[in-house]
Each structure stands twice: as C-alpha cells, then as structure tokens.
Amino acid sequence: MRSYYTAQQIRDAEAPLLASLPDGVLMRRAAFGLATAIIRELGTVNGRIVCAVVGSGDNGGDALWAATLLKRRGAGACAVLLNPDKAHPKALAAFRAAGGRIVETVPAATDLVIDGVVGISGSGALRPNAAEVFAAVEQAGIPVVAVDLPSGLDVHTGATEGAHVDAALTVTFGGLKPVHALGRCGRVELVDIGLDLPPSDVLGFDAADVAARWPVPGRADDKYSQGVTGVMAGSSTYPGAAILCTGAAVAAHSGMVRYAGTAAGEVVSHWPEVIATPSHATAGRVQAWAVGPGLGTDEAGASALCFALESDLPVIVDADGLTILSAHPELVADRAAPTVLTPHAGEFARLAGSPPGDDRIADTRKLADRLGVTVLLKGNVTVIAEPGSGPVYLNVAGNSWAATAGSGDVLTGVIGALLAGGLPPGEAAAAAAFVHSRAAEAAACDPGPAPVPTSSSQILAHLRTALGSIL
C-alpha cells in the first residue's frame, strides 16, 4: 500500500531526527539517496556533467551535497545559485571544496540538471529567474531530476499556477506526498531516511493489495456464495453499454450475473452465461446492483435507478444514472447500504454544482460527505473518497489508454462484481480502478510492445489478463 503524506506530517516526522542526529546528517542521508538515483539515471558517472540549480532552502542543500558526491565519483559538477546569499552554507562549502564550479547559466554540454529550487514548503510558480533557467534547459532537451518535487508544483494538489519544472525523475524523501500522484513528476523514487510516519488517510493500492482483497473462490464456494451481480444498463439506443458492463462483471468473476433491461437479447448473444430478463421486476435475487451506463434518463431509466437505490443492497451508479441522480440527490439521502458514484468531470459538476478544481482530493471528499456515498472521480489519476473520516484512494494510471468511449461501462461492471463479492465500497472502487487501468495498458500493448490506441471492447477482453498478472 502506498501512503501519501502532507508536508506538515513530513516536517513533524523530521523534527525528532533533526533534534537527535548531528547537524547535517539527515540532509546528507537524503543527498546520498539522491546521488544514487542520479547515478542510475546517468548509467555512468565518470566524465558526465551535472548542474544543480539551487534555491535558498534545504532542497538546494540536498542538490549541492548530491552534486558534491557525484563530483567525487568523477562527474563534472557545476551549480547555478539563484540566490547566492541564501545558499546552504555547509553544502556550498563542501561543493566548492570538491572542485564544483559556480556558473551563471546551465552549460550546453550538461548531461543532467538537478532541480533544487524549492521543496515541500514552496508555493506558486517559478520566480522569473528560475523560470528563465529551466526554459533554457527544456529547450536544450536536458533531462531534469527534481529534489522532493518539481519546483512550481503544489505539494498537495500537483497543480501549478504558471512556470514549473518538467522533471524526468523526482526523488523524494521519507514519504510520498500527494503531488507525486497528482502532479507531473515523471518517474518517482522514494528514499528512506528513517522517518517514523503516522498512518495516512491518503492511500494507493498496488498489485499485492488488489490480490489480497480480490474475491477468489474457495473449495466450499458455489456460484451464489461468490457473489451475484445485477446489471441494469443499456437501452435500445445504447445496447453496447449493457454488453460492456455485463461482460465486465462476468470477467471480474462474479459467481452469477443477472441482467435486467431492454438489451437482454444482445447481452445473451455475447455472454450466454448471463441470466437476462427485460425488467428489474423479474431479475431475481442479486447481492449488488450496477446501474446507469447507457440506461437513458427517461421514466424507465429513473424507475430502474430508484428500484436499485430503494433496496438494501450495495449499488454502483454511473453515466445516465448519475444524470438522474444529479436532479434527484434525495435518492441517496440516508441510504444505509454501500453506494458508489463514478463521475467524470462533467458529471461531477452536475452532482456538485461546480467542476472539480485544482484540489481534486478535497473536492471529491466534499461531495462524498455531502451525499454520504463513496465517490470515484475519474481521470488519469482516479480519486476515490469515502464519506466521513474514511480514507482517500489514488490510482495513478500513468497513461490515458482508458480514456475511450465505453471505458466507464467496463469499470462499472467490475465495481459491481466486487461489491457483490463483499468488498467495502472504497476498496472495491480502488481495486477495480487498478485492474481497469492495467487492462487498458495491456490492451494498448497488444500485440506488440509499442502502445497503440485501443477501445473499450479491448479493455474488457484484457481484464482477465490483467487479473491473471495480479492474482
């Protein structure tokens, strides 16, 4: 499980170490990890040229110490001091003693730039002098390794107000921060510097977390005990949504999938194992409902949504179901059973009254609290918030292969299957988002290693492959 910490949590955890260790030890510990990551990035050190762009904070000290260590290993090292009078004195002295040069601009022959301008206490866009330096670096195509976070990005939201560093690699210390999921940080490496951090309420699943939670049949299980997923999706206008959503519930390994709706014939022609009826009134017993994709917003669609939400079963609502719900939020008021909503930005705006802003975590939490449901805000970084004091889960896709028509229908079916399998709503949404993004990546890379545009049908076809790689 990945944990993400606020800047204040990191500072609080650093305080006892700073008080107990000799002066400068913690900084040199961080700098050693930074230098090690840079060596891996360069491949070879001897004869390579690195340039540290240094601000006035501790990140500038980290950058200078790392450049010093690289100089001692045979690299050419120089530094641009953006505020010479406020550069870290001990780190600067060590850098000069090792033979490092102070320069006005980044040399054209530089192989790698270290961004040590601002750290987790910084805010706002790059100042003009720093912006000018990094504009030249970008134009020259020199890769940048950022210290803690790319300067100019907000540590809590990953947003930027203007000029910022575009890093190929970010090396951070002690614990991840939200920016490392939400912002453009390139690859992220975490260096352990010995911090004793508290439990975090912002988390990210990895493959092991998904494998530990995914319902896998035991020797005593039957088709009913493995979860029966009910699907109300699709219409005469959008039968494909029913096929995608129902197929995803099958692929996610529900013990049984029941479909209720006007696309029953089309669904069975694709998935003969599905029990299909034309109406929810004859659907039979299920353990969770997946409602909304392609359903329509007419009276029939509203009736299906009300039927699901008036039950005491877990419900996942998407697409047309969200449109109906935005006009009738009272449908989820005081609902005791687990409820998951999966809006994209436009649907979020209809539900919340305004689109998500720069602070996607705070905005998603606010909507979850207001409606008393679990909210999954779709995006390249999926944000999942539970109401009250529940955790927030972040799923970083790393690409946008899932941004294609019908992709959300597939995700809805997977979440429905996990809810039917007994997972809590936040964990069901987080696990489904993880597998969904992995399936999208697998679909994009099939049949070869070079990614190509994909489709929701292909994402669905690769769900079992994605699950197999995890389980």
Q: Which residues are annotated as a binding site for AMP?
A: 378-382, 408
| Residues of the binding site | 58-62, 115, 119-125, 148, 151, 241, 294, 344, 378-382, 408-409
**Which H/E stretch holds residue 342?**
none
> What whole-number distance in Å separates Cα of residue 153 and Cα of residue 184?
8
* Contacts of residue 156, Cβ cutoff 8 Å, sequence gap at least 6: 6, 7, 177, 178, 179, 359, 361
The answer to whether the Cα torsion of 55, 61, 62, 66 is positive or negative is positive
**CB contact at 8 A, 325 and 331:** yes
Strand locations in 92-210 (E): 101-103, 112-116, 144-147, 169-173, 187-191, 202-204
CA nearest neighbour of 301 among 327, 273, 272, 324 = 324
| Residues of the binding site for (6S)-NADPHX | 58-62, 119-125, 148, 241, 294, 344, 409
> What whole-number distance in Å separates Cα of residue 460 and Cα of residue 244?
7
| Beta-strand relationship, 2-4 and 202-204 | antiparallel
| Beta-strand relationship, 374-377 and 381-385 | antiparallel
Tell me whether the omega of the peptide bond preceding residue 343 falls within 30 degrees of 0, making it cis: no
> What whole-number distance in Å separates Cα of residue 258 and Cα of residue 249?
10
> What whole-number distance in Å separates Cα of residue 460 and Cα of residue 466?
10
DSSP secondary structure string for all residues of 118-148:
--TT--SSPPHHHHHHHHHHHHHT--EEEES
CA nearest neighbour of 151 among 129, 119, 121, 176 = 119
Residue 315, classed as helix, strand or coil, is strand
| Angle, CA 263 vertex, CA 262 and CA 265 arms, to 5° | 115
| Residues of the binding site for K(+) | 59, 115, 151
- Encoding tokens for residue 297? 């917003």
Name the one residue in this structure whose structure tokens are 């600067």: 92
